[in-house]
Amino acid sequence: MMGEGRGKVAPAPKLVRLSAAERVQLRAAAAKREQFRGYAARSDAWGNGMIGDAVFHGLCGEHALCRYLNSALGLQLHVDLALRRAGDGGLDVNALGFRMQVKTRVRGEQNLIRRLDHNKRIVPIACDAFVFAKIVPGGVQLLGWVTAEFARDGGAFAKSPRRDSGHFNLVVDGSDLEPMRRLSDRIRCAQGAA
């Protein structure tokens, strides 16, 4: 019997397959967001094109989490596609009052949370938990999650691995991720406590 303890990667990451139609919708939403926020005019890594398809990949991770929670909890969550000049303020998905930020990566093994921007200003943590996801062939793998408190107190502070990036991240070790099934339990508990 496999336990639900922590491992190098949380046991049983959840694969959420994305259809071609979902990808087309998310790509269109990403293009609108990029144009609205003027990423191409920026002088940082986003504007220089170093982070190719970052908005699209982020939306894919958010969509995967919504689909997972909809199935696990019987909800009807959708990706927030509202266009805001200053972004979402660190809140991607709100499930029954439990606020989550999704951090999606395409390559590499680090679980990163941007903490200081390129101007050395603190990026506030406005969520209850961080969910880590990875783009894989055919969809998104939900790797696991940690509470915001754990990320803030237990994450290692490090300069971005990108050579010409000036921002700093919290790095959450893969061995510290909680399994996705526990996220559903935590959301139910948070709802009961409210």
Any domain includes 157? yes
- pLDDT of 172: 73
Which residues 6+ apart lie within 8 Å of 58 measured at CB?
30, 92, 102, 104
Residue numbers of the domain that contains 187: 14-193
> With pLDDT > 70 as the criterion, what percentage of the chain qualifies?
63
Tell me phi and psi for residue 136, to 5 degrees. -130, 165
From its phi and psi, is residue 87 left (phi > 0), alpha (psi between -120 and 50) or beta? left
In a domain, 8, yes or no: no
Among left, alpha and beta (phi > 0; psi -120 to 50; other), residue 15 is: beta
What residue type is 41 in one-letter code?
A: A
User: Per the structure, how many domains does the chain have?
Assistant: 1
Percent of the chain with pLDDT over 90: 38
Q: What is the pLDDT of residue 40?
A: 63
Q: Let me know if residue 6 belongs to a domain.
A: no
